[in-house]
Amino acid sequence: IRHEHGPSHSRKKRQPYSKTHISSLEREYKANNFITRQKRENIARDLKLSDRQVKIWFQNRRVKHKKIKQRRIKDNQQHHQTTELQRRDSHTQKQEMYQRHSAMIPTEMKNEHIRIDHIHSHVPGLGSASILM
């Protein structure tokens, strides 16, 4: 950062983490997304990183995890909304098809009703029975 009166402090150029760093940090994150000070210091020493770098990496990783989780929830909600719309469309299509086929039945047939009588009887040993006629 540079000000009017010269640099306020020197800052190292950003150095991307190596694959070894990332795999070690990810492995530790999967075990526990919050890291103890002692564990953080050990990881920093083993990976030749500063304690602050490890701390910041874990903070950033938790933010990334939260964003991924929110995206999944949003995608899942959109999927359910789409599925519900498809279900409604299917129901509407079935209703429209029924109405089209119903319109094709001659008027005189629509006015006739099929009568079904139920006869209830008691058969010894079998109990009540219902017979359709």
Question: Tell me, what DSSP letter sits at residue 125?
Answer: T
Give the residue-averaged pLDDT of 46-56: 97
Across 38-71, b (16+ Cβ under 10 Å) vs e yields eebeebbeebebeeebbbebbeebeeeeeeeeee
Convert the pLDDT of each residue in 88-99 to its tens digit. 777 777 777 777
pLDDT band at 122 (very low <50, low <70, confident <90, very high): low
pLDDT of residue 62: 98
Class of domain 17-132: mainly alpha
Of 48-52, 61-65, 119-123, which gets the smallest average pLDDT? 119-123
Q: Break the chain into its structural domains and give their ranges.
A: 17-132
pLDDT at 2 over 60: no
Predicted model pTM: 0.52
pLDDT of residue 63: 98
Residue 66's identity, in one-letter code, is K
pLDDT at 133 over 50: no
Give the residue-averaged pLDDT of 47-60: 97
Percent of the chain with pLDDT over 90: 43
Q: Enumerate the β-bridge partners of residue 123.
A: 127
Nearest in space to 53 (alpha carbons), one of 18, 10, 9: 18
Convert the pLDDT of each residue in 12-40 to its tens digit. 788 889 999 999 999 999 999 999 999 99
